[in-house]
Structures are given as structure tokens and as C-alpha cells.
Amino acid sequence: MATRQRPAVPAQSVRPAGGRGGPLPINNFRYTADEPAYLLADSQAGALVYHSSVAAAVRKLKPPLLIDVDDGGSGLAPTTAECYVKAIVEAEPAQRALRSGDDITLQYTGGTTGRPKGVVTKVAPPVTSLLRTGPAAGGLLASHHGRAGGAPGRGTGRRR
């Protein structure tokens, strides 16, 4: 999906449901014609959520499930694609999966020096960092345990 806020919804929804997910930049202008298909195969993606404005590129790909997000694009979604809004409304609620500090995510590089490369990272460190930054960013994120910073005794600005 293009760089917009909406990609965060499917990407962040995958983890609580027990899946592994991350953005696949299939519309990177540097990619050759075969690289988006390479990303799907290498990542073993079970689904691809994409904006309709890149539907022409998606038509050539063969993921198990396509979910089209209408962004006023061409409207040339593959006939096998599901509508994002319809998929959300009609889906059964997923059971929340138990998470661990060892959960991983897969992000892909831009492929500027050859094929795109998958980078495996643990989910916990960036999330913990984000929770610690939240109060400093205007308190937009709820603090954990009633303290700023996401962990007892950390990130409160007070010395022990």
C-alpha cells in the first residue's frame, strides 16, 4: 500500500490475531517488473492488502488472498480481490493471540543494491521504544502501569 496512515490498520491487526505481517512495498518505483512477485514468494505472504491505484501491478501477482482498498484509483481490481471495507465488516472477530517478547516481523529493504532483502526484527524493542516516546510526544499514547514510559520505574523523568 502507498505511504499513508491506512496501511497501519492491516499491518497492526495481523499481530494480535497471531499472524506475522509487515509492509511489502510492491509499488517501489525502483523495482523491476519481477520484484513484487519475488517479494510475495520470499515472504510467503498469505494475503496482500493494496490500494486500488496500484491494481494494475497487483493483477500480475498471485497471492492466496487479495484485499483491495479503494483510494479512488483505477477501479481495475482483479476479479478475485475482496473489498477491504466489506472484508472488515463481514469478518468474524479473531481471537486475540498470546504475544511474546520474541515475536518477529519481516520488513523488506528497497532493493537499491540488488534484490530486496528481508530483514527479521523482534517486535518488542520498537514497540517498547514507542511506548516510552509517547508521553514525550504529547501524551498521545496511554501509559502502562499508570506511569509514563510503558514500564514500571522507566521513562518517568525521575531519578531513583
**pLDDT by position in tens, the chain (length 160):** 444 555 566 666 666 666 666 667 666 777 777 888 888 888 887 777 777 777 777 777 776 777 777 666 655 555 556 676 777 777 787 777 677 777 777 777 776 777 888 888 777 766 666 666 666 555 554 544 444 444 444 444 444 4
Does residue 61 belong to any structural domain of this protein? yes
Phi, psi of 67 (to 5 degrees): -125, 115
The Cα–Cα gap between 21 and 7 comes to: 11
Domain that holds residue 72: 8-99
DSSP H or E run through 15: none
Q: Considering the entire predicted model, what is its pTM?
A: 0.54
Model pLDDT, residue 17: 64
Q: Answer whether 67's CB lies under 8 Å from 87's CB.
A: yes
Model pLDDT, residue 151: 44
Phi, psi of 79 (to 5 degrees): -65, -15
The Cα–Cα gap between 112 and 144 comes to: 40
Does residue 73 belong to any structural domain of this protein? yes
**Torsion from C-alpha of 36, 40, 42, 43, nearest 10 degrees:** 130
Does residue 80 belong to any structural domain of this protein? yes
Model pLDDT, residue 1: 45
Does residue 157 belong to any structural domain of this protein? no
Does residue 88 belong to any structural domain of this protein? yes
Does residue 124 belong to any structural domain of this protein? no
Does residue 70 belong to any structural domain of this protein? yes
Model pLDDT, residue 105: 77
User: DSSP characters for 118-146?
Assistant: EEEEESHHHHHHHHHHTGGGTS-SPPBTT
Q: Give me Rg for the CA atoms of the chain.
A: 18
Does residue 149 belong to any structural domain of this protein? no
Model pLDDT, residue 147: 46
Q: How many domains does the chain have?
A: 1
The Cα–Cα gap between 15 and 13 comes to: 6
